Structure 1
Amino acid sequence: MTDSHNQEYQKHKKKRVFKKKTNQEVPLDSLAQQLLNGDRKALAQSITLVESRSQNHRKQASELIQRILPAAGKSIRIGITGVPGAGKSTWIESLGKILIGKELKIAILAVDPSSTLSGGSILGDKTRMEQLAHDPNVFIRPSPTAGTLGGVHRMTRETILLCEAAGYDVIIVETVGVGQSESTVRGMVDFFLLLALTGGGDELQGMKKGILELVDAIVINKADGDNRRKANQAKGDYRQLLHLLKPATEGWETSAYTSSAITGDGIEEVWKVIMHFKEETQKSGVFEKRRSSQSLEWMTQLMMDRLFNEFIEQEGRKEQLSRLKEQVLSKKLTPADAIEKLFTQ
């Protein structure tokens, strides 16, 4: 091999290798194959790669996604949100046990709130879902939001594809709670579920009413013991309200249900609702139409991220932005004037 050929080979080889923190090099060919074989370690490593902010890793992650894309897309993607205290993790664990009994593989992407000061996150989902965490057919990945708009990690969509390529049948995206995250999650899942508590009228005061126009089902949790009557009342309240709203999915009637994550009551029924939703929307073509639309939304978001990153990385741009921020804080400039200077100077 000539020197020029050797240099070209080494240059090409670098593009196809993901270097871990241990400095051990793993060829992307091998990583992709292990992932497609359902190797959990390869899945975790692949997710770490797509979550990396390194420009070099981003290029390698894109190549990896391209390789596994034909094997992705075969799962049902479920988004679950709810106010703090609604019992999301306990409810997901109860659902997970039912799905395991049906010999389904489950991936849970639990999006954790990152500290705006330290950048750290709670990442406690493996502790909160202790029984599922030890099952070989369950993969739990806490993913810090890192301050991302919408409370969902910027690469959650790619993580979903990786999990599907690794053979997971059900992908559950658990959000940090009711807030900005709903519209973001709605844009990456097939079925969106709101976990609520009793007292429908009071509960609505603590959430954006617009959330009800985004979800495909509302499940009132903790419908057990003395709380069962209140839960049934809340179910009726929500159903009456939903009749006045436009359904989130074309051709689908959003409704409310009750369940108990402690006893397991009602959770099998919710799963049947999700399966019925999948069957009906696939039959009508809405299922594929939504996924196609989500792919275009994803493309637009990636374009916006790329434009922002390339703009902000231009020489002297960060320093200029810092100066303009100081001038806005000292009231020497309005925010509008600052942006005008940012783009014209």
Structure 2
Amino acid sequence: MYAQDAAGNKSAGTTVTVSDKTAPAAPKVNSVTDASTTVTGTTEAGAKVTVQSGSAILGTDTADSKGSFKVTIAKQKAGTKLTVYAQDVAGNKSAGTTVTVIDKTAPAIPKVNTISDATTYVTGTTEANAAVTIKRGSTTIGTGTADSKGNFKIKIAKQKAGTKLVVYAKDAAGNTSAGASVTVIDKTAPAAPTVYTFGDNQTTVTGKAEASAKVTIKSGKTVLGYGYASSKGTFSVKIKSKQKAATTLTAYATDKAGNTSTGRSFKVVDKTPPATPTAGTVTYKSTTVSGKAEKYATVYVYNGSHYVGKATVSSKGTYTVHMKKQKKGSTLKIYAKDKAGNKSGYRYVKVK
């Protein structure tokens, strides 16, 4: 810079340097997630870049000759607002660029309570307010939203025992958790077994129950025996000893999951025939035949195929059958039949 007067005389020159008073443009900042440990972007070449959270400085860096920067920071919580400034070598500071930390962290795997084949609600905990989806294979069987404390309760149709379900949680940012796999447990008791007729002359109880179930036979609280139903549900259980007619026994079925059916009560049927009756002497003049037989049984008398008479045995085991006189030399055939219909052997008596 020079000065020159009216006579044309020129002063010595004064040198002046132009000062930088122009602030850099606000930095361009790339996305920052809750997994980020660096903040990157571009600004004025050589500028100092500062990243702040509120008034706290998280990190600084100097932009390279092309204006690129990379500031190292600690991971920040999703939703945190960061401000990035650039300051040139002249000390001019840019306007701040604000970026919000993006949620890129998937929720933890949901914690799911036990699901049984009787369950109609799936419950558990996950990230607060997350959307919860329950799938069986590729089929969605229920959806819901966790409350502010992370609890969820989702209605589903009853599922078969052994079915595998997978439960997922998705947060508001769209991040989906890994699936929590749950196997539906068997809590349904088998139906009461079907028991076939069982006699006092038998030691094996047979019938049908749930396939592969354990079948237990009891007399009161005493276990008489147990066995296992076949794959077709048939069972054959050997018990300790023969049981008295009219005794009440109970059969139970227990499945592999430990669920026990209600009891099936059944009575021991009288299948034992009475002993062959005794009989006294009968002559051609006799009008009765007497002897001993099972109490309360009915004693029948035949002469050949001809019916002669019958009588009920007393409580003392004696009987008397009234009849017409029978022909001398003929043979009477005498037998007893109990109330269950069991028939004794024959007693043959020759008329004298």
User: Normalized per residue, which structure has more strand?
Assistant: 2
**By the TM > 0.5 criterion, same fold?**
no
Per the normalisation by structure 1, the TM-score is 0.20
Normalised by the size of structure 2, how large is the TM-score? 0.20
Q: Which has the larger radius of gyration?
A: 2
